[in-house]
Structure 1
Amino acid sequence: MIKNPKWIWQRSEWPRFAYNSTLVAPAVAEAHWMHGMLEGKSQAIGFESFQQIALDALVDEVISTAAIEGVRFPRELVHSSVVRKHEFTSRRTDSRNVDGLVDVIDDAISHADQPLDADRLCRWQSALFPGEVSCTQKWVLGRFRDGHGRMRIVSSKHGQEVVHYEAPPSSEVPNEIARFLKWFDDTKPAQTQRQGLYVDGFVRAAIAHLWFECIHPFEDGNGRVGRAIVSMALAQSLRETTGLYSLSCQLFTARSEYYGALNSAQRGAIEVSDWVKWFIGQSTKACAIAIKNIDQVIEKRRFWERAQESALNERQKRVLHLLLDTASRTAPDGLNAEKYMALTGVSKATATRDLSALVNSGQLFTLGAGKARRYHLTVHERCRKLSLGSGAVF
C-alpha cells in the first residue's frame, strides 16, 4: 500500500470499514423509531391511499436519483412509467432512459431477496443508458470499466480541474467488486440471523453505498446504481417490497452536503462513523417527510368526514376539492371573494355567502380584514401545526 495514502482504498486496512457503535447509536435508534412511526401511520390510511403514497415515493426516488447526477426527468413521464410497470403492461413510455431507471429501482426493491451479483449490477448499469452511443468516445455499457486511464471525479474548467476523487485502477475492479458482493451477501439479514450476528440495516446501507462509490466500477451511472443498492439493502432489512419514502429525494435536497460527506469519507480513515451517522440522519429526515404526507392524507379524510355533516352545495365542494389538491396553484396566498367568483362564476353576493358559510361550518378560516381578507383551509392549518410539532426530528 501507498505510504501516505490520499484515498481510503489506498489504506492498508481497506476495505475493513469500522464505526463507533456508541457514536452512531442515537442516529440508528431515531431512524428505527421514525420508520416504525411511518409504518404504523401507513396502516391507518387505507389501501388506495397507501398505494398512492408508495407510487409517489417511487416516482420521487426515480426523479431525484437522476437529478443528483444532473439528469432531469419530467414528472409526468416518470409517473407514467411507474404506473405502467405496476399495471404489468408491456407498453413503455417514449423515454427508454426513464423506463430503464424505473426498472432498476423497482427491481432493487421488489426483488431484494434475490442475490446481488456482478451480472445484476451490469444489467442495472446498462438499463440506465439504453441504446446510447457517443460520437466522441466509446462508452463501456453493461460491464465494468476496463480502460487504462484513471477514473477521476473532476470539476472546474479545463486547466483548472479539481480532483474530488480518484477510484482504484480498472484492473482491480473485478476483485474489488467480488469482495464487496461477498460482504453484501454475508451481511444480509437472513445470513446474520443464521450466524447469530447482527448488522443494523441502516448502518449496512450506509457502508454499502460508500464502499460501492469508492470502487466506482462503471464509467457512468455509479451514483444511480449505488443508490439502488441502498434501496435494496433497506428493503432487505425492513422487509418491505414497497417503499413509502424517498431517500434520494432527501439526498437531492442536501446534495452539497451529500457530496461533501461522501468526499470526506473517501479521503478519510477506514473508521467511517461520521459518514454512517450523517447518512442515517438523511433516512430519518426522509421518513419524517413521508410521515408529514401521511398526516396530510389522514387530515384530508377527516376534513371530508366533517364536511359531510354540513349542507355544502356543489360550488363549495368543487372549490374545496381544488384547494385541497392544488392550493399552491389555485390560491397560493389564500382564497378571496374575487377568486371564488372566478372559480364558480357566481356573483359577489353569492361568493360572500358561500365563503361565510364555509367559515361558519369550520372548513375555512380567515386572515386579514376588508380587501385583504383571505380564506384558508382549516386542514392546511392543522397540517402545519402537525409538522411544527415534529421539530425533534430535525
Structure 2
Amino acid sequence: MDTSSPWIWRRADWPEDALAYDAHQTASDLAEAYRTYGLLEGKATTLGLGRTSEVALDALSDEVLATAAIEGERLPLDAVRSSVMRRLGLATSGPFNRSVDGLVDVICDATSAIDTPLDEDRLCRWQSALFPGGTSGIHRIAVGRYRDHVDPMQIVSGRPGREVVHYEAPPSKDVSMQMERFLLWFADTSPNATSAMSVRGKPIDGLARAAIAHLWFETIHPFEDGNGRIGRAIADMAVAQHLRQPVRLYSLSRQLLASRAAYYDALNQAQRSQTDVTAWVQWFARQSTAACHAANQVIDQAIEKRRFWEKQEGIALHERQRKVLQRLLDDGDGGFLGGLNAEKYMKMTGVSKATATRDLSAMVASGQMRGHGAGKALRYFVNVPGWTHGITE
C-alpha cells in the first residue's frame, strides 16, 4: 500500500474509517435539509401533486437535462420531455432519442424500484442504457461491464504535455473487489436491512448515506464512461429509499450543475481526505437544501397560479385571453420582459389591434391584469398579489 499517494482509496483504513463522518458536526446541516424538504413535501401534499403533475414532470426533466449537462452533454429538451412523458405513461408525439430514453430509464429505475437490490448486473444494465450504440461520442467504450483496461483511470485537464491529474481511481484489476465491498455496504445500510450498519456506533443518517454512496462510487469509478450519471442516480436512489416519497419534487443534479466547479472541488477534496468525509457530507446536505429551496419556489408559483385561476371562476374569458394569461403566469414575476402591449398581444393571438385593445381593457377591468404607463409606453402585467414585475412606483 502506497501511503504517500494522496488518494483516499490507498489509505490503510479504506473504506471503513476513511468514509466515516462526524454526526455531531453534520447534524445542523442535515436537519436544515430535512426541514426544507418537509416544507416542500407539505406544499406538494396541499396541492395534491402526483407523479404526473407538471411540477413532477419538470423536476424529472430537469434531473435528466442537468445530470447530462454536468458531463458537458446538452440534451434536446423536446426529446427529454417526450421521453419522460412516455416513461410515466402519458401520451406524447414528441421525438425519440435512444440515449435520452436510456438516461431517463436509469433515473426512473433508481428512484422507483428502490427496494430492488443494487447489484453488479443492475449497474451494468444502467451503464449499457447510457450508451446504446456502444460508443461515447465517436470512441468505442466497454459497455455493460466494469472497465478492464490496464492504463490508469484518471481525470485530467490541460493541454498535452501539461496535463493536470485531478484524480486517479483504483486500477481496473481491483474494481470487482472494490465494487463488491461497496454494494455489500449499500445493501447492509439500506433502511430495509434487517440489521442496518452503523458508523462509529451510530446509525447512518439517510442523507449522509446518499452522500457517502455517491463519493464511494465516484472514487472507484468502475466504468469506462458514465460514472458521474450513474453515481448521481445512486445518490438519488439512497435518498428515495430514506424519504419513501413516490413523487420527485426536486432535482439535485440541477443544483449540482449550478455549483459545478464547487461540486468537483468538494469531490476532489474528499477523495484526498486524510481523516473522514464530514466536510463532504456537510456540503452535500447544503446542496440538498438549496435544491429544495429552488423547488419550493416552483411550487409557490404553482400555488399562485392556482389561486389566480380560482379567482377567475365565473368570469367570462375567451380562450385566447386564457392562453395569454397562462403564458404570463408561467413566465413569473417580471419574467415577461418589457411587459405586454397591444402589438405583442396581436402576435401571440393573431387578432386585430382593435380586438387586442378591447381584450386587454376587459382584463384590466375584470382584475386579471393591470396597466402601467400611458400612450405608446402603456404596458400590461398579470395581476398577482405580491408580484411587482420590477416596477417601482
Please say whether Structure 1 and Structure 2 have the same fold, judged by a TM-score greater than 0.5.
yes
Q: Could you say which residue in structure 1 is the equivalent of 2:58?
A: 56
- What's 1:293 paired with? 298
8 Å Cα contact 1:100/1:130 also seen in 2:
yes
Provide the secondary structure at the position in 2 that maps to 1:268.
coil
> In structure 2, what is the Cα distance between the partners aligned to 1:92 and 1:145?
35
Alignment of 1:1-394 (within 5 A): 1-16=1-16, 17-47=19-49, 51-87=53-89, 94-133=96-135, 139-191=141-193, 198-325=203-330, 331-344=336-349, 351-379=356-384, 381-382=386-387
Instruction: Determine helix, strand or coil for the equivalent of 1:379.
Output: coil
The CA deviation string for residues 306-326 of structure 1, in whole angstroms up to 9 with x for no partner, is: 122545455533421332245
AA at the equivalent of 1:283? S
Q: 1:161 to 1:35 in 2, by over 3 A?
A: same
AA paired with 1:13?
Answer: D
Instruction: Please state how far the C-alpha of 1:103 moved relative to its aligned partner.
Output: 1.0
TM-score of the aligned structures, taking structure 2 as reference length: 0.88
Paired amino acid for 1:118: E
- Residue of structure 2 equivalent to 1:392: none
- Which runs of 5 or more residues in structure 1 are unaligned? 386-394
* Aligned-partner Cα distance in 2 for 1:305–1:383: 21
TM-score (normalizing by structure 1): 0.88
Provide the secondary structure at the position in 2 that maps to 1:34.
Answer: helix
State the 1:327 CA deviation: 7.0
Aligned to 1:390: none
Distance change in 2, residues 1:259/1:288 (3 Å): same
Change in Cα spacing, 1:93 to 1:127, as seen in structure 2 (3 Å) is: farther
More helix by share: 1
SS of residue paired to 1:365: strand
CA deviation digits over 1:242-292, x for unaligned, max 9? Answer: 311111111111111111111111112241111111111111111111111
Secondary structure at 1:190 match in 2:
coil
Q: Assess, with a 3 A threshold, how the Cα gap between structure 1 residues 379 and 173 changes in structure 2: closer, same or farther.
A: same
Secondary structure, aligned partner of 2:149: coil
Whole-angstrom distance in 1 between the partners of 2:94 and 2:187: 33
SS at match of 2:47: coil
| Residues 71 and 350 of structure 1: CA distance in aligned 2, closer, same or farther (over 3 Å) | closer
2:166 counterpart SS class: strand
Single out whichever of 131-140 and 58-67 deviates more from structure 2. 131-140
| 1:219-250 Cα distance to aligned partner (Å, 9 max, x none) | 11000110110111011000123311111111
Deviations, residues 184-216 of structure 1 (Å, cap 9, x unaligned): 111111227767963211111001000110011
- CA shift, 1:133, in A, is 4.2
Contact 1:140 1:219 in 2 (8 A): yes
Tell me how far apart the structure 1 counterparts of residues 254 and 131 of structure 2 sit (CA, whole Å).
22
Letter in 2 for 1:172: D
Q: 1:192 to 1:205 in 2, by over 3 A?
A: farther
CA contact (8 A) 1:93 1:99 kept: no
Aligned residues with identical type, % of pairs: 55
- Using the TM superposition, name which of 348-357 and 278-287 deviates more: 348-357
Paired letter, 2:364: V
Q: What residue ranges of structure 2 are gaps of 5+ in the alignment?
A: none
Aligned-partner Cα distance in 2 for 1:29–1:366 = 45
| CA distance in 2: counterparts of 1:359 and 1:285, whole angstroms | 37
* Aligned-partner Cα distance in 2 for 1:2–1:190: 37
Distance 2:327 2:94 in 1: 31
Contact 1:246 1:286 (8 Å CA) reproduced: yes
Report deviation, 1:328.
Answer: 9.6
AA aligned opposite 1:255: R
Compared CA separation, residues 327 and 88, structure 1 to 2 (3 A): closer
Q: Deviations over 1:321-341 (max 9, x none)?
A: 332245799942211233234
Q: Secondary structure at the match of 1:227?
A: helix
Distance in 2 between residues matched to 1:14 and 1:97, nearest whole Å: 35
